[in-house]
Structure 1
Amino acid sequence: MSGDDILAPRAGVIGWPVQHSRSPRLHGYWLKQYGLPGRYDLLPLPPEDLGGFLQELKRSGQAENFRGVNVTIPHKQAVLPFLDEIDHAAKRIGAANTLILREDGSLFGQNTDGYGFLQNLRESQPQWQPSAGPGLVLGAGGSARAICVALLDAGLPALTIINRSPERAEALAKALDDPRVSIGAWEDRADLLEGAGLLVNTTSLGMSGQPALDIALDALPIQALVTDIVYAPLETGLLAAARARGNLVVDGLGMLLHQGRPGFAAWFGQWPEVTPGLREAVLAD
């Protein structure tokens, strides 16, 4: 067989826009580190083309050795009707971020965002346990939903959702349908920190180019863990303030890195590790 007949495994990330994604840098690093043949590409895909792309992937993807794709905004929910099977997390969250093309041409969908979030906390601060105390989640978007599901499944005793738009917080709490979940008013966010064991920011506040997150941490117990899913900047104002007062902190980059591991393993046959070298490579300009 000629070299052209032996296609390297292929994967990529679909989104609109998608140029900002760091996933090619992440998967490219792993392919090089483990000496594996393979390609991982940016795949810009407007919403109106999503169905056609997925149908074509199922029809002819195997012939091109296409193994699957990551899914980012705005397609995470829209892909679900096109999938043949989804995992427990994707079903509960109502969104998929990792698609695996099986040998029979069917598409299996996963949501690895919650996995990535928890692995980041556990590896960065192994002494933290979900049972340590109640959690507060700022924000009620797709990432918040994945994180809430992961925390509840991990045994968090109580969870309060606080969002600038109370309607979105109410909708998320209703969807989670768990007696441990409550809603807090945005204007009461500082007071609600009392007794918390975990504070999670899933909003864009504090991200480069966005307004700062305005929250006083005085009521937050010193033993509480503070994490921000923002990774640009790597240390947000929230993390800097929490670190200065003695709280354990975890930045958001690890969530991105860990959520990519299950997909890479399925597509390229190697369970990858998150290392300091990987962090540097993904953050490099």
Structure 2
Amino acid sequence: MKNIYGLLGRNIGYSFSRGFFSEKFETENLDCEYTNFDIPQITDITEVIKDTKIQGLNVTIPYKQEVIEYLDDLDPIAKEIGAVNVIKFNKEKGLIGYNSDYYGFIESLKPLLNDTVKKALILGTGGASKAIAYALQQLHIEYTFVSRNSGHDKLSYKNIDKLIMANHTLIINCTPLGTHPNIHDCPDIPYQYITNNHVLYDLIYNPAETTFMHQGKEKGATVSNGLQMLKLQAEKAWEIWNA
């Protein structure tokens, strides 16, 4: 009987995970299968988890926070982050939530950093941004969230000026703006103030170079998409499922 792993999300036909794990299973000759569980609402998870062949799930937009109430326990790091992207099916303990996004982000970001990076802007406030914030804490990089509306501990896009851009040389896009097919979209920041000290990191991986990244590259910034982060978090998920 094949062990089943899968991705839980909404509108996930584009998914990186299914291709990554299917190739891994074939290359390593593993008797496993990876399936997309594309559900219109989180309550539909109750049907998915009835399948006793499922050993683990990845979780993506928009369920990284909503899924928590359906789990039996949380790994301490996932609890602190407040978002889950990996679920382990444990026979004794039930469904346990983990977060491997923060690990993938840290390890993919480290090679890009320069000595000027002391503060970061996190664009977006969804589930992914929570893991990014936790990762930056581990790296001792101060951060400020940016959202459509300003509020406690967050700026609005219209608040960002030359001084803020100069002080925050790491900018991470955690929004879906620029994802295929809407490839001309990008976060509304003042790109004219980007310098060659800046690092622009986009969690999007399709297209490989987003408009956000392209704008940064034109100013001499170091840029990266989210593909390496995805690969690293996926390998970490596999470790978690098989620990």
TM-score normalised according to structure 2 size: 0.86
Residue in structure 2 matched with residue 34 of structure 1 by the alignment: 28
1:257 and 2:231 are equivalent in the alignment? yes
Query: Given that residues 194 and 216 in structure 2 are in contact (C-alpha distance below 8 angstroms), is that contact kept between their aligned partners in structure 1?
Result: no
SS at structure 1 position matched to 2:191: coil
Q: What are the equivalent positions in structure 2 for 1:107-146 lying under 5 Å apart?
A: 107-122=95-110, 126=111, 128=113, 132-146=117-131
Of 12, 18, 28, the residue aligned with 2:12 is 18
State the partner residue of 1:4.
none
Q: How far is the alpha carbon of 1:193 from its aligned partner?
A: 0.6
Which among 113, 131, 147 is matched to residue 132 of structure 2?
147
Q: 1:223 to 1:74 in 2, by over 3 A?
A: closer
2:57 and 2:88 in contact (8 A); partners too: yes
Q: Quick one: distance in 1 between partners of 2:115 and 2:68? A: 29
Structure 1 CA distance, aligned partners of 2:191 and 2:115?
A: 20
**SS at 2:130's partner residue?**
helix
74 and 186 in structure 1: CA distance in 2 versus 1, 3 angstrom threshold = closer
Shift in alpha-carbon separation, 1:155–1:130, aligned structure 2, 3 A:
farther
Q: Which of the numbers 145, 154, 166 marks the counterpart of 1:161?
A: 145
The 5 Å alignment of 1:40-79 reads 40-47=34-41, 48-54=43-49, 56-57=50-51, 61=52, 64=53, 66-79=54-67
Q: Report the AA paired with residue 45 of structure 1.
A: I
Q: CA 1:46–1:215 in structure 2 vs 1: closer, same or farther (change >3 Å)?
A: closer
Residue 200 of structure 1 corresponds to which residue in structure 2? 172
C-alpha displacement of 1:52? 4.5
SS class of match (1:41)? strand
Aligned: 1:90 with 2:78: yes
Instruction: After superposition, give the CA deviation of every residue in 1:24-72 in whole Å (9 maximum; x if it has no partner).
Output: 1011121122222211111233433223443x25xxx2xx3x3111122
Q: Matches of 1:19 and 1:218 in 2, distance apart?
A: 35
Equivalent residue for 1:226? 200
Q: Structure 2 CA distance, aligned partners of 1:233 and 1:27?
A: 20
Structure 1 residue 19 displacement after superposition: 2.6
Residue 184 of structure 1 is matched in structure 2 by: 155
Q: Is the 8 A contact 2:201 2:213 kept in 1?
A: yes
Contact 1:131 1:155 in 2 (8 A): no
Aligned to 1:174: none
d(CA) in 2 for partners of 1:261 and 1:11? 13
Partners of 2:116 and 2:197 within 8 A in 1: no
Cα gap change, 1:42/1:152 in structure 2, threshold over 3 Å: closer, same or farther? same
Identical columns (%): 28
Contact 1:27 1:264 in 2 (8 A): no
* Amino acid aligned to 2:157: W
Mind listing any 5+ residue stretches in structure 1 that lack a counterpart? 1-6, 171-181, 270-285
Q: Work out the number of aligned pairs and report it.
A: 239
In structure 2, runs of 5+ residues without a counterpart are none
Residues 1:80 and 1:135: Cα distance change in structure 2 (over 3 Å): same
| Aligned counterparts of 2:112 and 2:204: Cα–Cα separation in 1 | 22
Q: Deviations over 1:98-146 (max 9, x none)?
A: 1111242522110112222222213xxx252698311111111221122
Which residue identity lines up with residue 216 of structure 2 in the other structure? A
Q: Secondary structure at the match of 1:256?
A: helix
Residues 73 and 216 of structure 1, relative CA distance in 2, 3 Å threshold: closer
Q: Which has the larger radius of gyration?
A: 1
Change (3 A) 1:79 1:29: same
Higher strand share: 2
